[in-house]
Amino acid sequence: MMTSIARRAGHGLTYAVLGWAVAYGGVRLAWTVGEAPVFRQFGSDLVGFTGWRSVALCLAAAVLAVALDRVSTWRPVLAGVAWAVTGALVAAAAILLPELVGFLLFVVSPHFDPTAFASRLGCVTGAALLGLATARYQRRTRGDCPQCCRTGRPGHRRAVPARWARWAAYVAVAGLVTRFAAQVAVGFDSLVQNPSVIGLEVGLLLAGALLPLALVHRWGEVWPGWVPLLAGRPIPRLLLLVPGFGLGAGIVAYFGVGLVQLMTGSVSEFSDTFLWVAMSAYWVLGLGLLAASGDYHLRTRRACGACGR
């Protein structure tokens, strides 16, 4: 019964990816063969994957979704390619990160383009759907339990973070400290002139200082005593996992693209030395967030009712 329900849910996820590929891929195809909108700020809505490359990316996602649903054995190459396409979709919409942070802090750039923003949201939606399909494929083909597909000894659950997760969190904070040390060295004049950049910096300051540490400490699972009305209550895990994975992936994609552009000699108002230090530090911050979030997810998920894992 449970296996049948899970199978139907898996088919639904496959259809969701296919529906997204038809809808979003259709828009990309129409813009490629016809007349695309004029995007004011960056000249394009996506980074790196425009024109026929964006159409190919949607087609690849659709083909992979079907393959992930049909293949019943573990194929590392298939999973690797699926995660690579998922990462490419996230990287293509990397500009979405500063826009979302700006919205959260009520700071909107004067160059904001609603069409480009909607397109980036559509691209990230496809990445999320394909990522879920890939994760489901891994659980279905690699696990020991037919219901939860987890591995390990029944009843054996870690109560404390893994050592590597703690190191990842501290490295993430170190990346943040390095980033702002570089800013202190060059000054803040250019920073304070751009409201959208200010929003991004403030948001990343909060995420980089508090979020990594919360993921690997007890006060990230139970509200500490100084929090009114909530002290001692469990913290909803999604409250940390959503920003942990979301910001981590966004930071890695956004500043990963920035590092690639820096390698190609893109012109900027900042010195190359500052950009290399700042972008690398942010990239380290994103990787640390992803690693710490992964451990937090494994440590705090509910035990399976069938196997106890």
Radius of gyration in angstroms for the set of CA atoms belonging to the chain, rounded to a whole number: 21
- Tokens 């007349």 appear where? 35
Q: pLDDT tens across 149-193, in order? A: 566 565 556 678 889 999 999 999 999 889 888 877 776 555 555
Exposure class string for 237-271: b at 16+ Cβ within 10 A, else e = beebbebbbbbbbbbbbbbbbbeebbeeeeeeeee
Residue 92 to residue 122: CA distance in whole angstroms? 11
Amino acid at 23: A
Residue 18 to residue 290: CA distance in whole angstroms? 27
- Residue 284 makes CB contacts below 8 A (sequence gap 6+) with 171, 172, 174, 175, 178
Residue 30 to residue 51: CA distance in whole angstroms? 10
Asked if residue 60 has pLDDT above 50, the reply is yes
Exposure class string for 197-223: b at 16+ Cβ within 10 A, else e = bbbbbebbeebbeebbbbbbeeebbeb
Q: pLDDT tens across 76-107, in order? A: 899 999 999 999 998 888 888 777 766 665 56
Q: Does the pTM exceed 0.75? A: no
What backbone torsions phi and psi does residue 271 show, to the nearest 5 degrees?
-75, 155
For the ranges 140-149, 167-176, 226-235, 267-276, which has the lowest average pLDDT? 140-149
Residue 256 to residue 263: CA distance in whole angstroms? 11
More confidently predicted of 278 and 134? 134
Contact 65, 127 (CB under 8 A): no
